[in-house]
Amino acid sequence: MIDKKTLKLSLKSLRDFAKGRLPDEKLLELDARDECPLDIVRYMCSPDQLAIQLLFVPEEFGGMGGGAFDVYCICEEMARIDLGIATSVLATFLGSDPITVGATPEQKKLWLSRIAEQGILFAYGATEPEAGSDLPALRTTADRVLKDDRIVGYKINGNKQWISNGGVADAYSVLANAPGGPTWFILEKGAKGFTHDEPEDKHGIRLSNTAALAFNDVYVDADRLIGGVEGQGLLQAQAVFGYTRLMVAAFGLGAGWAALDRAIPYSTKRIQGGAPLSEKQGYTHKLIVPHVVRLEASRAYIEETAERIDAGEGSLNTEGAIAKYMASEAGNQAAEASIQALGGYGYTHEYMVEKISRDVRITTIYEGTSEIMEMTISRDRWQSHLKTRGQHYHEEARRLEALQKQHPDVGANIAALSLHALAEVMEKARLARLTRYQHVLLRLGELIAYAECAGCLARRAARIAENKLNEKANRRFDLPALSPISRIFARDAALKVAEEGLRLIIAGSGVTDAEVPAFETSLGLTAVHRAQAGLISDMDYVADVLYDRVAKRAAVAA
Ligand SMILES: Cc1cc2nc3c(=O)[nH]c(=O)nc-3n(C[C@H](O)[C@H](O)[C@H](O)COP(=O)(O)OP(=O)(O)OC[C@H]3O[C@@H](n4cnc5c(N)ncnc54)[C@H](O)[C@@H]3O)c2cc1C
């Protein structure tokens, strides 16, 4: 992990660099030309220039050994600049991941040092034309090449699809089926029989190069097999999902905020109906405040997960999935709302929110789609529900009720309502065997993500109150602002879990007509509805914070 000062300096250099070299006009020009600015990407990853890649590389191999929290901060900042360029930088990190987790010491020294010292660009080649979400269906093969009964190398045949940096990387991690099972290999550009297609003509992240790869009897020496043992590929890929999904979560967060940070100042200057849009409650409470709230709920989850990864709690794949799911969906909604917030201007290229909206769209697709995230979350937490005989979320709710006693303003009691309701929905689904419906399973994934985020955001607010927030944590909102943000999100989560949970159970015939009232009671519906009291005044306060009107409000009140 790096210290706070170094992280701050890195973030500042990134911002200064973007200000100087990547003004809006340049980004729009590259976007229109559908061009990856390779010189910029190389500059960012060059050891004697910006050297962003050093953050990702462990110290023993010449890097700075940034932890998950550091990487989240950098990814958010890169996404605020341009998600295409951010993706190009991330691709090197993804490409080197199988090496970081699974390579032999010699392989790590060779390849990670080359990334740190020479700034080589990597690509991560997992997806295939027929194997996206279902990676085990991959068809690329790696056949052993024997000499005197000894494996000296492999011949790789097959295709990869949608590979970031596919046409520009210096080295590639490629997943292929060896006789022992899926296995990662390292290939270098220019290898005989290895070609890539023209860049894809994409909806967004047009500054990132995405290309299909083809392997026609490409020979690699045996020492290019990552880790030296066949069949470890899927495990190695799984080992870093928590971490890598956290980065895409940070992308959703950064891009969502980049859009809102254009919509907010715009609305202070745009006069309609005799006053700035920022003073219209129907505008702010639909197009701005709810998106700020959702993004900050995602941030809470990202930060907590990053801290836990850095504390050595394991790969936290499910938490990474929740973070990615919530932040990427929130980022998309924020960007979409920002177009609306700018009206006709938002619909043009010039005002940038249209580009951000196209760019952030990718975050719910790559590194696992939102639907795959819902499935991952639901399956894992279903096990927790079963193992604790339905108590998992009730216990979590009780912890929040205890927190409420110390911090009555952070919305912990409302978050607890959502978690109690979730436990009841899951138990009813278990009794009626409703997870046989994939639709129910995936929707439960969404409800779980909302309820967990509500609890997490309340904890974050409480930590601010106790002065225990991570020293590197984002401090855009102080306690008086984060408390209403937390309460607003918790109200949404509680209503969503209780109402949509009820609907799912009834829809799947999990209760009879006569049983509905008792089930409604068990969900705490009345309490959930009553908890909506205060919503509008909390939204008013958050809008005042966003528009710097808190002092004025206090003066008026006095
Ligand atoms: C711009 C871009 C860059 C990328 N970069 C890389 C990269 O660098 N390296 C790499 O390896 N890959 C990369 N990818 C691939 C990306 O990870 C995949 O596109 C993604 O995992 C989805 O796979 P797919 O496109 O085959 O869609 P599919 O898996 O076919 O999914 C299509 C739809 O069906 C849904 N779905 C799939 N399975 C199920 C199921 N079992 N139940 C319910 N719904 C389901 C999905 O959620 C999705 O909505 C990139 C993709 C893009 C577009």
pLDDT in tens, 330-349: 999 999 999 999 999 999 99
Residues in Cβ contact with 464 at an 8 Å cutoff, skipping those fewer than 6 apart: 478, 479, 482
Long-range own/partner contacts, residues 107-112 (CB < 8 A, 24 or more apart) = 107/186, 107/223, 107/226, 107/227, 108/61, 109/61, 111/171, 111/186, 112/57, 112/58, 112/61, 112/62, 112/63
For ligand 1, is residue 210 a contact (CB within 6 Å)?
A: yes
| 125 CA: nearest ligand 1 atom | 11
pLDDT confidence bin for 465, thresholds 50/70/90: very high
Catalytic amino acids?
Answer: 367
Residues facing 213 on adjacent strands: 160, 196
For ligand 1, is residue 88 a contact (CB within 6 Å)?
A: no
| 370 CA: nearest ligand 1 atom | 47
For ligand 1, is residue 362 a contact (CB within 6 Å)?
A: yes
- Phi, psi for residue 268 in degrees, rounded to 5: -80, -20
What pLDDT is recorded for position 544? 97
| 368 CA: nearest ligand 1 atom | 21
- Quick count: other Cβ atoms within 10 Å of Cβ 104? 15
Cα of 369 from ligand 1 centre, angstroms: 6
What pLDDT is recorded for position 430? 98
**pLDDT tens digit sequence for 158-179:** 999 999 999 999 999 999 999 9
Distances from the Cα of 190 to the Cαs of 106, 195, 502, 533, in angstroms? 23, 8, 58, 64
What pLDDT is recorded for position 8? 96
**Pocket test residue of 134, 174, 365 for ligand 1, highest count of atoms within 8 A of CB:** 365
Pull the structure tokens for residue 446: 């969404």
Burial of 418 (0-12, 13-18, 19+ CB in 10 A): buried
The mean predicted confidence, pLDDT, of the chain is: 97
What pLDDT is recorded for position 558? 78
Between CA 239 and CA 454 the distance in angstroms is: 27
Three-state DSSP class for 216? Answer: strand
For ligand 1, is residue 127 a contact (CB within 6 Å)?
A: yes
CA-based nearest residue to 27, from 91, 77, 88, 81: 81
Three-state DSSP class for 263? Answer: helix
pLDDT at 41 over 80: yes
Residues in Cβ contact with 524 at an 8 Å cutoff, skipping those fewer than 6 apart: 417, 420, 421, 498
pLDDT confidence bin for 417, thresholds 50/70/90: very high
Between CA 83 and CA 76 the distance in angstroms is: 10
Q: Whose CA is nearest to atom 14 of ligand 1?
A: 162
For ligand 1, is residue 340 a contact (CB within 6 Å)?
A: no
Residues facing 276 on adjacent strands: 271
Cα of 507 from ligand 1 centre, angstroms: 29
Half-sphere CA count of 170, side-chain side, radius 13 A: 14
What pLDDT is recorded for position 354? 98
Cα of 366 from ligand 1 centre, angstroms: 6
Between CA 506 and CA 408 the distance in angstroms is: 34
Residue with tokens 């919503």: 535
**pLDDT tens digit sequence for 197-230:** 999 999 999 999 999 999 999 999 999 999 999 9
Indicate the range of 50-59, 246-255, 381-390, 466-475 predicted with least confidence. Answer: 50-59
**pLDDT tens digit sequence for 72-101:** 999 999 999 999 999 999 999 999 999 999
Cα of 143 from ligand 1 centre, angstroms: 26
For ligand 1, is residue 372 a contact (CB within 6 Å)?
A: yes
**HEC states along 7-50?**
HHHHHHHHHHHHHHHCCHHHHHHHHHHCCCCHHHHHHHCCCCCC
349, 358 in Cβ contact below 8 A? no
**Pocket test residue of 83, 88, 133 for ligand 1, highest count of atoms within 8 A of CB:** 133
pLDDT confidence bin for 472, thresholds 50/70/90: very high
CA-based nearest residue to 249, from 315, 338, 324, 161: 324
Q: Whose CA is nearest to atom 17 of ligand 1?
A: 366
Q: What average pLDDT does this structure show over 504-519?
A: 98
Pull the structure tokens for residue 153: 């190398």
- Phi, psi for residue 147 in degrees, rounded to 5: -140, 120
pLDDT at 315 over 90: no
233, 183 in Cβ contact below 8 A? yes
What pLDDT is recorded for position 243? 86
Between CA 38 and CA 317 the distance in angstroms is: 32
For ligand 1, is residue 379 a contact (CB within 6 Å)?
A: no
pTM greater than the 0.85 cutoff? yes
Q: What average pLDDT does this structure show over 303-313?
A: 97
Sort strands 150-164 and 194-196 into parallel, antiparallel or unpaired: unpaired
**Pocket test residue of 93, 124, 127 for ligand 1, highest count of atoms within 8 A of CB:** 127
- Quick count: other Cβ atoms within 10 Å of Cβ 68? 24
Q: Whose CA is nearest to atom 32 of ligand 1?
A: 133
- Phi, psi for residue 151 in degrees, rounded to 5: -75, 115
**Virtual CA dihedral for 177, 180, 186, 192, nearest 10 degrees?**
-60
Residue type, 199: P
Q: Which residue has the higher pLDDT, 242 or 272?
A: 272
Residues facing 142 on adjacent strands: 156
Q: What average pLDDT does this structure show over 533-549?
A: 97
- In the chain, what percentage of residues exceed pLDDT 90? 97
| 165 CA: nearest ligand 1 atom | 8
Between CA 328 and CA 526 the distance in angstroms is: 32
Q: Whose CA is nearest to atom 51 of ligand 1?
A: 162
Between CA 384 and CA 18 the distance in angstroms is: 44
Q: Whose CA is nearest to atom 25 of ligand 1?
A: 132
| 134 CA: nearest ligand 1 atom | 29
Q: What average pLDDT does this structure show over 114-140?
A: 96
pLDDT at 19 over 80: yes
**pLDDT tens digit sequence for 373-401:** 999 999 999 999 999 999 999 999 999 99
What pLDDT is recorded for position 554? 81
pLDDT at 553 over 80: no
- Phi, psi for residue 120 in degrees, rounded to 5: -70, 150
Q: Whose CA is nearest to atom 27 of ligand 1?
A: 132
Residues in Cβ contact with 366 at an 8 Å cutoff, skipping those fewer than 6 apart: 162, 164, 248
